Every structure is written in structure tokens, then in C-alpha cells.
Amino acid sequence: MSRLGDLGHRLYSGEVSYDFVGQRRRWYTISAAILLVAIASLLIRGLNPGIEFEGGSVFTVPTEAGTVEQARDVATANGAIEPIVTELTSTSGRQLRVQAQDLSSAANTRMIQALADEFDTSVDDVTSQIIGPSWGAEITKKALTGLVVFLVLIAIFLSLYFEWRMAVAALVALAHDLVITVGIYSLVGFTVTPATVIGILTILGYSLYDTVVVFDKVKENTRGLAAGSRMTYSQAANLAVNQTLVRSINTSIIALLPVGAILFVGPLLGAETLKDLSLALFIGLAAGTYSSIFIATPVAAQLKEREPAMQALAKRVAAREAAGKVAVPAGAAAAAAAAAPVGTAPAKPAGSGQPKPVGSSASGQRQQPRRGGSAGSRKRPPGKGRRR
């Protein structure tokens, strides 16, 4: 059996346990620090919306040897303000994509001619496209509408299948993942594109799936828990997190490997168009795994422990544990003997001396048997006299 498999078995059986729920203040502090950095980046730097959300002009010129700096200089010289130039590689060849603000018809024509002259190509090979900001606004509106509907339906489903406390905890974890993903996106400075929106909506489903798996195990472990005094709700929830820990790690690694390959290796191979999607997925998958273990379950346990029934259960468990600690162990005499000074014989209880010889007196002297005594005499059968 592999080490990870053996660890999973020991976690599931309870032989090994990590106190995720009991140390929730530590996880809250770590999340608060990350959220603070993400929110500060959003407030100070903001997001970098792409041309699909702000509108503008897009020019594409084919070139095999041209550089991004050349295209940026040409665009700036022809009226573009802070143009964004990206390199595209496909089966049709290498191209440079220039994004600029909305240009007039005359400026658009001059830009096409300047790019064709700079990269020694025909004017017909340089493509131009004007994108209005209304398209990006419509995409944003639909994305927000879909997000709100999704959250409402999820809250209803979790409240019915589990309970409202778990629904609240799951929504807290989702908000945690969203803010961290968007904040790191702002911190890195990647351009927000429609692919980014798709990636963010995708990670919501993944994060929720991982949380539901853990909550289902919590529900199984806490069924009928309030009627006994075996463990508290937090202890049962922590056991559920440990039992699903290896599964969460395996699922996350399998999901992060291909996404990480697209994010880190893709640009080296010319797959620049996928980095926006892959960054959102990579951050969201990692944050979703973290929140399902360190945020969702501790929040659900903290809300559940406020119930009077769970508080009474916690008192019974504490009393049971305290009784187990103060109970007098069997073999107290052996412990007392061990505590006696070295070289001192342990005291013997009354009547526990050496056995007396048969017929000896209390003073230790041996008594002679008495003739005709009742103790040692042999009784004759009734009705029979002495033989003559």
C-alpha cells in the first residue's frame, strides 16, 4: 500500500487526525490576510478590462520576424494610447494583435498602412475590427444575472438537502474563493476577457462540489449525534474533513496539473489566448480546495455549536471526558507500593500473613490432639456398641 493510501486509511479510521475545525481561528486569520491583499489590489490597482468590455479597435498583422515592441511603437506613433500587443501562433502562422482605443476611420486607415509598411506585408493582409463597449456590457450583465440565479438555487438546494447553516457556510466559502480569484487577477495585471468570466463561473461549481462532498460526510457522521455523548459536533465534523482529506488532495492535484500546464507551459508554446482562462481556473481550484477544508466546515460547525442541543452535547462529552480522567484505576495498591520508599517492605493487610500450621495456636505453639475430642474423634455408627 502506498504512503498516501495508508495515510488515507488511517485518517478515515481515526488513527490519525488533524484538528482543522478546532484551529479555525488560525485558518480565519490566514484567509483574512489573503482577502485583505486581494481587496487592497482591487481598490488600488483595479482590474484591467479587455477590449471586449471597453471597446476599441483591433488590428492583426502576419509576421514571422516582427517583434511586439515594433508593433507597439508603430501603434503609438499613429495615435494609439497605451496599445496592448500580443503574439498569436496558430497553424496559419505567426501574427501580432494590436489593441487600441476606438479610432476614427482616417486613423484606422493610417494604422493599417503603417503596420503593413513596418512588417513588409500587403495592406490586404492586415485585418481591422472595431468592437463596441455595449457587447462587453451585455456579457457582464448576463454573467452577473447568472451568478445571482446560481447562488439562489444553490442556497435553496443546500438548505433542503442539508440545513441552512451549511448553506450559509458554503456561500461564505464561495465568496471567499471569488474575492481571492478576482483580487489575484488584479494583482497580476492580466487582462479581463470573456474567457476570464467563463473561468470564474467554472470555479464556482468546482468549489461547491468539493464542499458538498465534505458536508455529506459531516451529515453522515453527525446523524443521531445529539442523543449520545460520544463526541461533539465539531469533533464529528473534523473527523469528516480528515476522512475526505486525501480525496480532496487527489482531486485537486489532478485538476491543477493540466490547468497549470496551460498557464505556465502554454505561453512558451504560443498559446497566449488561454492564459486568461487558465489563471482564473488555477487560482479558483486552489482556493476552492482550501475553502472546503479550512473555511466551509469550520464555519458550519461554529454555527451548529450555537444550538442548545449541541451545547448540551458538548457539556455531556466534557463531563464524560473529565470522569474518565479522575476515575481511580484498578491496581491502586500496586501504585501505592511503587510510591513507598526504596528498601521498605510494603505493608501487608490484616490476615494476609503466612498460613498457620494445622493445629497451631495463636502463640505459635503446636497443640497436642485431645483424645475423645470432637474435632479428631471418629464417630461410631448409631446403634452399635463396643465389641466384647
**Is the residue at 108 inside a domain?**
yes
Say what the pLDDT of residue 267 is. 64
DSSP labels, 58-81: EEEEE-SS--HHHHHHHHHHTT-S
Do 186 and 140 share a structural domain? yes
For residue 3, give the amino acid letter. Answer: R
**Is the residue at 338 inside a domain?**
no
Do 285 and 303 share a structural domain? yes
Domain that holds residue 154: 3-48+135-319
Q: Residue 51 class from Cβ within 10 Å (0-12 exposed, 13-18 middle, 19+ buried)?
A: buried
DSSP labels, 123-188: GGGSEEEEE-HHHHHHHHHHHHHHHHHHHHHHHHHHHHHT-HHHHHHHHHHHHHHHHHHHHHHHHH
Q: Which of 206, 213, 102 is nearest to 161 (CA)?
A: 213
**Is the residue at 329 inside a domain?**
no
Say what the pLDDT of residue 141 is. 84
Do 61 and 25 share a structural domain? no
Alpha-carbon Rg for the chain, nearest whole angstrom, is: 40
Do 223 and 77 share a structural domain? no
Do 200 and 73 share a structural domain? no
CATH number at residue 73: 3.30.70.3220
**Is the residue at 22 inside a domain?**
yes
Domain final residue, candidates 294, 319, 344: 319
Model pTM score = 0.70
Number of other residues whose CB lies within 10 A of the CB of residue 134? 9
Do 42 and 69 share a structural domain? no
Q: Which of 310, 41, 321 is nearest to 163 (CA)?
A: 310
**Is the residue at 231 inside a domain?**
yes
Domain final residue, candidates 286, 319, 352: 319
pLDDT by residue, tens only, the chain of 388 residues: 456 556 656 666 656 678 999 999 999 999 999 999 999 999 998 888 878 787 888 899 998 888 888 999 999 988 888 888 888 776 677 888 888 888 888 888 899 999 999 898 888 888 888 887 777 778 778 888 888 898 899 999 999 999 999 999 999 999 999 999 999 989 988 888 888 888 888 888 888 888 999 999 999 989 888 887 788 999 999 999 998 888 888 888 888 998 888 888 766 665 566 778 888 899 989 999 999 999 999 999 999 999 998 888 888 888 888 887 644 344 334 333 433 444 444 444 444 444 444 444 444 444 444 444 444 444 455 544 444 3
Which residues, 6 or more positions from 237, have their beta carbon under 8 angstroms from its beta carbon? 21, 218, 221, 222, 297, 300, 301, 304
Is the CB of residue 8 less than 8 Å from the CB of residue 246? yes
Say what the pLDDT of residue 182 is. 92
CATH number at residue 298: 1.20.1640.10
Do 149 and 35 share a structural domain? yes
Distances (CA, A) of 242 to 17, 84, 170, 321, 328: 6, 47, 18, 22, 34
- State the Cα–Cα distance between residues 239 and 221, nearest whole angstrom: 8
**Secondary structure letter of residue 191 according to DSSP:** E
**Is the residue at 62 inside a domain?**
yes
Q: Is the dihedral of CA 283, 289, 290, 292 positive or negative?
A: positive
Say what the pLDDT of residue 196 is. 86
Say what the pLDDT of residue 12 is. 61
Do 155 and 125 share a structural domain? no
**Is the residue at 349 inside a domain?**
no
Do 95 and 185 share a structural domain? no
**Is the residue at 31 inside a domain?**
yes
- State the Cα–Cα distance between residues 230 and 232, nearest whole angstrom: 7
Please count the structural domains in the chain.
2
Report the residue count for the chain: 388
Domain final residue, candidates 319, 353, 377: 319
Do 205 and 172 share a structural domain? yes
Do 205 and 278 share a structural domain? yes
Do 248 and 158 share a structural domain? yes
